[in-house]
Amino acid sequence: MKRPIYLDHHATTPLDPRVLDAMLPYYGEDFGNASSATHAYGWRAEAAALDARERLASAIGARDPREIVFTSGTTESDNLALLGVARASTHATPHVVTTAIEHPAVLDAGRALEREGGRQSSLPVDSDGRLAPETLAAACGEGTVLVSVGAATSEVGTLQPLETLAGLCHERGVLFHSDAAQAVGKVPIDVVAQGIDLLSFCAHKLYGPKGIGALYVRGGRPKIRLAPLLHGGGQEGGLRPGTLPVALCVGFATAVELCVAELAKESQRLCALRDGLFDQLVAELPGVMRNGPAQDRLPGNLNLSFAGVRADALLPRLPEFALSTGSACSSGSGKPSHVLVALGFEEDRMRGAIRIGLGRGTTQEDLTLLARRLTEEVRAARKSDATLAVR
């Protein structure tokens, strides 16, 4: 059976062969433990991990490679940022501020904090998914220790004004964290220029391996205090114990470097493909609604609703494509996306939403075929009483 055309690059990405080539030596002859300080196997592993740390720091504009803390992925990085800051705080009731459209890793970490006696505020956003600076300013008060706002929303592609939001936080003595899993390597990120104190990102959204991520923790003064989630051998400055997966670290750094190097050209290509697909569908079909902003969105993101058609019934009619109805972490829940709920959409529009995630392997031919097949199936649904139609 022919593999479906992959258009779900927000969920994960295929491993780039160049990344695999960089990793393979560390699954073979360079298998050493980076914590083994008494022989050449350990020294080589430690050197490779340090090189990866330096490359990752450079890619996001960090000043010091020691500001990169390796984790298992963005979910762990988000938990370490939110719970680590809150648990290390001297406030009796530490308060974290998020938005209603954050990834579950952020929102659920905030709920865990609430069970420990802390507080979480999830702020509303506008119909494009953007947080208004004045809304954030009003939410920061006594006991607020951290604000966490995702750099880019995976479902509708919204890019947040990180520099503005971070500046507001710093004026109030509050740390600023961003989940940038969807942003690093796709849009420019510079943690120093944007004033970001903590940043979460990972490899598998960037054509790298699954199981490796990082938390950038700004150095310097004032020092950021974090309570570790795990306890063990003291690796990663005591913040994340465990033997470093050197091959994954090397693959992570290689993947990010490749994305950053190709960012401008790839962004332009994906924007042209995305906008061309939308224009073609609008020309062929009435009732096509773009969810999220027309501008200032992720280059490879297009979220659409088709009036009168349910997405969960439409997608099975398109087996030649790998598409989704939203975040991979919640796509099987059967509930409307919490992101689309927060944007204030009517239920029919939410139930009809599909997310198209373009990536490095996407071609014009792929999208021409997708436009034709979507047009056929949506027209067929609207002409019949089949289960595709919204009730």
Decide which of 206, 234, 261 is a domain's last residue: 261
248 and 270 housed in the same domain: no
In this prediction, residue 1 carries a pLDDT of 64
In this prediction, residue 384 carries a pLDDT of 79
Distance between CA atoms of residues 81 and 99, nearest Å: 16
248 and 314 housed in the same domain: no
373 and 280 housed in the same domain: yes
**12 — alpha (psi -120 to 50), left (phi > 0) or beta?**
beta
**Inside any domain, residue 389:** no
253 and 368 housed in the same domain: no
247 and 353 housed in the same domain: no
Task: Tell me which residue range forms the domain holding 291.
Answer: 5-12+263-383
**Inside any domain, residue 234:** yes
**Inside any domain, residue 252:** yes
Smallest CA-to-CA distance from 203 within 68, 1, 313, 352 is with 68
Strand-strand pairing, 68-71 and 213-217: antiparallel
Taking only the tens of pLDDT, the chain with its 391 residues reads 689 999 999 999 999 999 999 999 999 999 999 999 999 999 999 999 999 999 999 999 999 999 999 999 999 999 999 999 999 999 999 999 999 999 999 999 999 999 999 999 999 999 999 999 999 999 999 999 999 999 999 999 999 999 999 999 999 999 999 999 999 999 999 999 999 999 999 999 999 999 999 999 999 999 999 999 999 988 999 999 999 999 999 999 999 999 999 999 999 999 999 999 999 999 999 999 999 999 999 999 999 999 999 999 999 999 999 999 865 445 455 678 999 999 999 999 999 999 999 999 999 999 999 999 999 999 999 887 554 444 4
Query: Residue 312 belongs to what H/E stretch?
Result: helix 311-314
229 and 293 housed in the same domain: no
355 and 239 housed in the same domain: no
Decide which of 212, 237, 261 is a domain's last residue: 261
In this prediction, residue 334 carries a pLDDT of 62
252 and 330 housed in the same domain: no
CATH number at residue 187: 3.40.640.10
**Inside any domain, residue 140:** no
**Inside any domain, residue 112:** no
CA dihedral 372→377→380→384, nearest 10 degrees, is -170
CATH number at residue 359: 3.90.1150.10
**Inside any domain, residue 98:** no
239 and 350 housed in the same domain: no
Catalytic residue selected from 169, 249, 271, 329: 329
**Inside any domain, residue 210:** yes
Q: How many domains does the chain have?
A: 2
228 and 377 housed in the same domain: no
**Inside any domain, residue 355:** yes
The reply to whether 329 belongs to the active site is yes
User: What are the structure tokens assigned to 159, written together?
Assistant: 């890019």
Decide which of 261, 296, 331 is a domain's last residue: 261
In this prediction, residue 98 carries a pLDDT of 98
Distance between CA atoms of residues 233 and 237, nearest Å: 10
User: What are the structure tokens assigned to 170, written together?
Assistant: 């710093």
In this prediction, residue 206 carries a pLDDT of 98
In this prediction, residue 390 carries a pLDDT of 46
Residues contacting residue 209 through CB under 8 Å, at least 6 positions apart: 15, 19, 23, 203, 247, 248, 251, 252, 255
Distance between CA atoms of residues 114 and 201, nearest Å: 24
255 and 305 housed in the same domain: no
In this prediction, residue 363 carries a pLDDT of 98
203 and 217 housed in the same domain: yes
